[in-house]
Amino acid sequence: MFNDLQQLDSEQTFQCDLCIIGAGAAGITIATQLADSGQQIILVESGGFHLEMETQNLYEIDNIGLDRAPQIATRQRYFGGSTDMWAGRCAPLAALDFEPRDWVDHSGWPLTRQDLDPYYQRAGKLLGLGPEIDQNIWATLGMEKPEPWFNPE
């Protein structure tokens, strides 16, 4: 069920067991996974189903740091969130990403890539990615892995 709070009485209240704030990738995923839990779940999003400048303007900032893309180009305030307009690459971390690096303070993770594998498989299934969501995809496709555009070495 969808309720547009702009169309409801301002005195309207809702009761739930869990309220998830933000209908972006994380919020929608959590709500989807808990939908059959028997709990009353409410997913709250400040925007509607389409871009509305009134809510988008809530992201307005005064940037005092390095120049960057305008907020409207990188963050969206509506159902689906920024992932609705994002065309980036989502890929599992490599085992190397979890290891300490001498030149990075506090680097290294308290878990390994293998610790995350069950979650990668679960996320891949949720997204319809199939079984090859890791580096094995290149061999499966008979292709060479492309070099990153930036190499710190």
Q: Are residues 31 and 81 in the same domain?
A: yes
Q: Are residues 70 and 101 in the same domain?
A: no
Which one-letter DSSP state was computed for residue 93?
P
pLDDT digits (tens, 9 = 90+) for 19-77: 999 999 899 999 999 999 999 999 999 888 888 888 888 888 888 888 877 777 778 88
Q: Are residues 21 and 82 in the same domain?
A: yes
pLDDT at 44: 92
Task: Provide the b/e sequence for 74-90 (b: ≥16 CB within 10 Å).
Answer: ebbbbbbbeeeeeeeee
pLDDT digits (tens, 9 = 90+) for 84-108: 777 656 678 888 899 999 999 999 9
Name the residue with higher pLDDT: 130 or 99: 99
Q: Tokens 């209240």 belong to which residue?
A: 13
pLDDT at 82: 83
Domain that holds residue 61: 1-88
Q: Are residues 83 and 139 in the same domain?
A: no
Q: Are residues 84 and 138 in the same domain?
A: no
Q: Using the predicted structure, report yes or no on whether residue 150 has a pLDDT greater than 90.
A: no
